[in-house]
Chain A
């Protein structure tokens, strides 16, 4: 009779009260600003605000830019994560640190760095302009690059962690059965780290959607071209706070919907 009781206790771990209190404070820290936003929302004017061309333009641009940034991050970030996880080469630690630097760098500093690299007088920018006629600052592509710069590290470290923790014996088995390196990567490695891939892509997308500092510094602010939702919110706050609150709410709803939706679908609802 003693055994089932012990099992029941183990199934529900005893929580120290202090821990729960701290957790509640931590949760409130995130919930209270949300409630503040919802309480201050001028619901009567919401529909009109939402239908205004400025909001739709900013929302469309935000979705396009954040999706493009995520796509670019997947194309270049997954190989980078694989390189960091599987190859031993001198300077790997430094390379890795440089790659995740945008996560801790103030985004405005990132924007300045991008200007110095891809601006008209930047390291590569001048060459891009004279050779291909490509100008990145003040363009939508510039906004996408700014978002990619800030958001891609989230994908790289998530996928790298997934690659490091996976069981490499499946890869070895596939190799001994005659699969090429490429086949192993596509048929074994990537499917096994799919949860990390999805989580990394979602994190990357969410960060790109909220990007402000690097975008305004590198790409500037122009409606329909580089004015994404966060920039529109910032400017609206100065002239029309009600519109800013509605815009914030839209951004919040879109992000929350995608985060919850993707979690349930691909990562399991636990």
Chain B
């Protein structure tokens, strides 16, 4: 008698493990719902938070979790088996790593572009007007580490401008560069236009002319191990459609 009860319980559990995902689909086939996790480059943090809030309003019953981080960190975490649904990178090489590893479903699409800017303390106490000023000795300059996209882009921009900078630190992500300047520990850094826009009033930006600037491509893709492909796909198409307005508000330019 007893083992029968146990067996029927086990069967019930086995049946129920599939009912969680199939139940919403059977009630209305076109509706998407559930939860998705987005791995987003640090520079996307503010924009993605706004977009995921909008997305949740237009897609009732859905829940979007944004995990920000350096693109290379996130790519490494996904390669080590982190479970998520969408990856948005601040550069192509880190996305390509996942494509090569067979971790991406379909092909990535570019959804935004970003440019670089010099971040300085509010009021420009050191009178910085361009990249060439960053070479002055006595100026504390922080950049992203060469492994991080913003570090690679900064190196390219400095090369184009023919400027050699001795950074005090090579930070692990772009937000760390902004915060070092915002706290007054560094005089200047090279970050994305969008980071200056999203930062506090403690910092301001100095434009880098187009001839010296670098355009960053932001690719997005649904991950192969996604547990909720319909919602992940819906999010990506929202990003390429209605989400563009929000991205523009945060300083990104369209694809």
Contacts and interface: CB of A to CB of B under 8 A. Distances in A.
A149 interface: no
Given A221-B169, A226-B169, A235 B145 contact: yes
Interface string A100-143: 00000000000000010001110000000000000001100000
A238 B72 contact: yes
A221 B76 contact: no
B72 A137 contact: no
Interface residues of B, number: 22
Chain A's interface size range is: 20 to 34
Given A120-B184, A120-B185, A221 B140 contact: no
Contacts of B73: 237-238
Contacts of A120: 184-185
B172 A234 contact: yes
Instruction: Please indicate which of the listed interface residues A120, A216, A235 has the most CB atoms of chain B within 10 Å of its own CB.
Output: A235
A46 B142 CA distance: 32
Interface in A234-259: 234-235, 237-239, 241
Given A115-B183, A119-B183, A241-B76, A235 B168 contact: no
B216 interface: no
A138 B75 contact: no
Contacts of B168: 137-138, 220, 222
A37 to B, nearest CB: 12
Nearest to A115: B183
Contacts of A219: 169
B172 A216 contact: yes
A238 B75 contact: yes
A73 to B, nearest CB: 25
Interface in B48-106: 70, 72-73, 75-76, 79
B171 interface: yes
Interface string B159-185: 000000001111110001000100111
B38 interface: no
A223 B170 CA distance: 9
A234 B173 CA distance: 12
B118 interface: no
Contact of A235 (B79, B142, B147): B147
26 contacts: A115-B183, A119-B183, A120-B185, A121-B184, A137-B168, A138-B142, A138-B168, A138-B169, A216-B171, A216-B172, A216-B176, A219-B169, A220-B142, A220-B171, A220-B180, A221-B171, A222-B167, A222-B169, A222-B170, A234-B172, A235-B145, A235-B172, A237-B76, A238-B70, A238-B148, A239-B72
Interface of A: 115, 119-121, 137-138, 216, 219-223, 226-227, 234-235, 237-239, 241
